[in-house]
Chain A
Amino acid sequence: MIKAIVGMSTCGISAGAQQVYDKLDELHKNNPESFELCRTGCISMCYREPLVEVRNNGDRIIYGDVTPELADEIFAKHIVGGTVLDEHVACSILPDGTFVGAEKAFHGPQKRIVLRNCGTIDPESLEEYEASGGYVALRKALLEMNSGEIIQEVKNSGLRGRGGAGFPTGLKWSFAAGYKSDIKYIVCNADEGDPGAFMDRSVLEGDPHSVLEGMIIAGKAIGSSFGYIYCRAEYPMAIRRLNIAIDDAREKGYLGKNILGSSFDFDVKIKQGAGAFVCGEETALFQSIEGHRGMPRIRPPFPAEKGLWQKPTNNNNVETYANVPWIIVNGAAAYSAYGTEKSRGTKVFALAGKVLHGGLAEVPMGTTINDLVFKVGGGIKNGKKFKAVQMGGPSGGCIPSELGNTPVDFESIPATGAIMGSGGMVVMDETTCMVEIARFFLNFTQDESCGKCTFCRVGTLRMLEILTRITHGEGEPEDLDKLLELGKHIKDASLCGLGQTAPNPVLTTIRYYRDEYLAHIIDKKCPAGSCSALVDFFINPDKCTGCTICAKNCPVDAIAGEAKKVHVINNEICAKCGKCVTVCNFDAVYKK
């Protein structure tokens, strides 16, 4: 039977997938014989949301930018009539897995291991997960392998932690396995706090069982019988789908006592975060699960010895666990065939910002930044020039377009001053001001600093003040040296990853864009045309309708013009408050 599958992750629904689903549901109720209606997680081509796939045996055709009206047409012409609506097809997938069609380039360099089921199965159906090879790895790990063999297999695969630091996963497991204790814990860090990163959300929403399966296998490997998933409260759908998955897995005997008759017990509990970025740091995360303020503590002792509730604990992030079942089934050699010598396998990136094709992309380690931006991402929006990518969120840095040939792996990215991070990749074009971006990230880390270490608490505030002054055109020549010095001390004197990396966005932008800083400080100009205090405002005559609303709202009467005629801003008088930009109903005001 023909299946119509709607991509229903948070971003799909934001783009209108619910309305499309409702429309198809109505058609399905009237014609229950003609097709089967299903939902799935993130199909990863976020830029073409809402997406609907029509699957007929092995033939898979994915329509992009679907509206309820188009859903009607797809039903009448494709599902009933058998004619594909070529002009609306985003891409088609042949039975052998190759992609054809308009969005082929997006999928070309990709290899889907973590995202193997995302966008193809119904995340709320255990049967579909099993049908696509789910829980085969668990069966193998529990019934045919011992703890040492599992750890060895993961070690051989070369899998490294996908949360950002890149610590070898197998080695981490062997530490936790080595400590004797009455109880040990498995923790899954799903507190994806980096702004601009949504990989883990998509995996949890699109394939929650793969994370559970990875956790149970890890439990067997280190000898733990209980796991926590610490998930952001900002991800309600991920939590809902995880709960469904946990209930189903319990019912089917994949969680609970004596799993698959192996005499191994394991169960899982979800802990909702409450909105604190620092809780992505593992010792802070444990504090939060225990019900305290999420503040990091000194290591050692490391979590493998004394973690949650002072018991041996293994903590990995969502993507790491999702890799594990694939490795157990396909073998370490198959996994380590992808990637570079020291960074094996694949990595999921959330491509966003000024890139044409924003979405989720899973590529082998070692793919270059240029390939990600131009091949997968399709280049820059509106024909603008590629300026930089920001990797690693507030802990990361900006990598300029001149270093576009840098391969993304755990060795090359840190060499640029950025960090690999969890996989957020925000693309910036010539209109993005690097000083302003550094200020933005510092504002974030300053706000999220837990306050324990003085250098992180006070030092970031002082840096933020300096950067804010610079973007307001009040910078002084010695500011750059002050920033560099403060940055060095904050890195040296902070306890956890948040403080140790907080200066990175500032240090990398000074390293690569010193000229831009100097333009702000000496010439009082913002070359990117972004910092309001340092630019001039103009009205686009093609968009202006002469409605007079900007002139009425201008606090210094800098806008002149008659009703129904194009208005003009006098930049001599203008106070650069930006009010006109926000009041214009036609988006006619711009700054340069």
Chain B
Amino acid sequence: MADREDNFSYRLWRYDGAPGELIPLLQSAQIHFGYIPRRAISYISSVTGIPESEVYGVTTFYSQFRLQPTGKYVIRACAGTACHVSGSKQIIETIEDELGVEVGDTTKDGLFTLNTVACIGCCSLSPVVVINDDTFGRLTPSNLRKLLRGYKRREKSASTAAPVGENV
């Protein structure tokens, strides 16, 4: 049931004009496409009657929505207060250097997207980085590099199985 509720086309199809549905629709579009493509904005606009410009305005207001596709691994580096005090700036620079990518961008091979996040609430493990759904805490530049290289290695070894995150 929960899957069906999240399904983008199902949600569009059963839209009954109830107010306040725009953000949930965008959220399910992002789950479906991995980002908000131009056509998703058109679909939503045509079904809800909300002008495309307004849908776009809401999309760009909230940091959760992305207008570009992301890599296979989305890295969210925490830049909250506790992580900042514990050196998150160096952590972010290390990721940028190791992967050759800047905050907000995706690597050329389409594997990694780097974003920052205000706080993920694991402050006692700071500094923290989340890769897809796995959280890694108490990082230093050196153990972070090992972690990232582990992901790269697993990808190179051409195994199709999704890598299992391990904590450092």
Contact = CB atoms under 8 A, between A and B. Distances in A.
Interface string A270-304: 01111111000000000011111110000000000
Interface in B47-67: 57-58, 61-65
Contact of B141 (A15, A273, A587): A587
A586 B142 CA distance: 6
The 7 closest A-B pairs by CB, nearest first: A195-B80, A358-B124, A352-B123, A46-B124, A196-B81, A198-B121, A274-B62
Interface stretch (A26-34, A250-258, A575-583): A575-583
Contacts of A235: 121
Given A198-B122, A426-B123, 13 more contacts: A10-B122, A11-B125, A13-B135, A193-B119, A195-B79, A198-B119, A272-B23, A274-B23, A274-B65, A291-B22, A358-B123, A586-B142, A587-B142
Given A276-B62, A584-B142, A585-B145, A432 B85 contact: yes
Nearest to A585: B142
Given A11-B124, A586-B142, A426 B135 contact: no
A274 B80 contact: no
Interface of A: 10-11, 13-16, 19, 46-47, 49, 192-198, 201-202, 233-235, 243, 271-277, 288-294, 309, 350-354, 358-359, 390, 393, 424, 426, 428, 432, 437, 440-441, 444, 448, 450, 578-579, 581-587
Contacts of B94: 582-583
B93 interface: yes
B23 A196 contact: no
A276 to B, nearest CB: 5
Interface of B: 2, 19-24, 26-27, 57-58, 61-65, 79-86, 90, 93-94, 97, 117-126, 128, 135-137, 140-142, 145, 167
Contact of A291 (B2, B21, B120, B122): B21
B85 A353 contact: yes
Contact of A14 (B80, B86, B118, B167): B167
B105 to A, nearest CB: 17
A15 B167 contact: yes
A428 B87 CA distance: 12
23 contacts: A10-B135, A11-B124, A14-B125, A46-B125, A194-B119, A195-B79, A195-B80, A195-B118, A197-B121, A202-B121, A274-B63, A276-B61, A276-B62, A351-B124, A390-B81, A426-B82, A426-B85, A432-B85, A437-B84, A578-B93, A581-B141, A582-B90, A585-B145
Contacts of B135: 10, 13-14
Given A195-B79, A196-B81, A582 B93 contact: yes
Contacts of A578: 90, 93
Contact of A290 (B19, B119, B140): B19
A277 B62 CA distance: 9
A587 B140 CA distance: 7
Interface centre among A49, A432, A440, A586 (most CB of B within 10 A): A440
Interface centre among B57, B83, B124, B142 (most CB of A within 10 A): B124
Interface centre among A14, A243, A424, A585 (most CB of B within 10 A): A14
A196 B123 contact: yes
Given A276-B61, A585-B145, A440 B81 contact: yes
Contacts of A11: 121-122, 124-125
B84 to A, nearest CB: 5
